[in-house]
Amino acid sequence: MSNTVSDRDPHERAHRFDPGEGSDRTTVLLLHGTGGNEHDLVTIASQLAPGAALLSPRGTVDESGQLRFFCRHAEGVFDLDDLVARADELTAWTRAACAAYARPLDGLVAVGFANGANMAWATAVRAPGLLRGAVLLAPMLPCELTDTPLTDDWPGPDLSSVAVLIAAGRADETAPPAAAERLAAWLTDRGAATQLCWHPGGHHPDPTALVEARAWMTRLRAAIGSDDRAVP
């Protein structure tokens, strides 16, 4: 079962919710890429976490008719003020949505692609403890963020309870390998258990990387199910 709720919903955001199966505690927060919508990553999420509940909000930024989660000045140049504001907004919405759908917050795992992947790691940084983990497909950390604070307590929060899998393409010209490597190091420096998975392709979710991501997700879901704070 799934339902799509309009922007007039009390949650004030178009989204899709699939309730999952049985007593599974995992809820996958799906964050689509530029030009996508709340349905784009459902098939991928079902491959990575079969049986898990899915919570998929629609991006609220309209860039020339294409939906995104935060604004940018140019390709690869983030609007940092907007990134922070939208991450905080998404955090509040996610907490409210999980409460409305009776989903436990301690089983929340993000899966994001491109712009959505960047929103996922920004949300983890702005709201430590919200996410148990994140699968980031084609993310990046732009150079200007290397020494720029996203939190008031820079150099940043303790992310030691968060597991992150980054799937990046060696031929990705939009989110180049160096930007993925910067992000992996940046998250690791803040305590996240970060795994970097390379594939030979470009700016897309790669099937071979998704196989590794599913194995990673299976380990994380086992930890969530056993109430174990260990990360894969």
The single-letter code of the amino acid at 150 is L
For the chain, the C-alpha Rg in angstroms (whole number) is: 16
In what order do the strands lie in the sheet containing 27-31?
Answer: 3-5, 15-18, 53-57, 27-31, 108-113, 133-137, 163-169, 193-199
| Residue with the two structure tokens 């303790």 | 158
Confidence of residue 230 (pLDDT cuts 50, 70, 90): low
Mean pLDDT of all residues in 28-46 = 97
Is residue 83 a contact partner of residue 116, using CB atoms and an 8 Å limit? no
Confidence of residue 226 (pLDDT cuts 50, 70, 90): confident
Domains of the chain: 3-225 (3.40.50.1820)
What is the C-alpha separation between 195 and 189, in angstroms, rounded?
13
What is the C-alpha separation between 112 and 126, in angstroms, rounded?
16
- pTM of the prediction? 0.92
Could you read off the pLDDT of 189-212 as tens digits, one per residue? 999 999 999 999 999 999 999 999
- DSSP H stretches of helix in 1-147: 42-48, 80-100, 115-126
What is the C-alpha separation between 100 and 169, in angstroms, rounded?
37
Helices 80-100 + 115-126 axis angle, to 10: 80
H or E element, residue 226:
none
The Cα diameter of the chain in Å comes to 45
Mean pLDDT of all residues in 117-124 = 97
Task: Specify the pLDDT at position 143.
Answer: 82
Share of the chain above pLDDT 70, in %: 92
DSSP category for residue 201 = S
Task: Specify the pLDDT at position 142.
Answer: 86
Confidence of residue 154 (pLDDT cuts 50, 70, 90): low
Task: Specify the pLDDT at position 97.
Answer: 94
Task: Specify the pLDDT at position 5.
Answer: 39
H or E element, residue 184:
helix 177-189
What is the C-alpha separation between 166 and 106, in angstroms, rounded?
21
DSSP category for residue 82 = H
- Please confirm whether the linkage preceding 155 is cis (ω < 30° from 0): yes
What is the C-alpha separation between 24 and 18, in angstroms, rounded?
12
Q: Is the pLDDT of residue 106 over 60?
A: yes
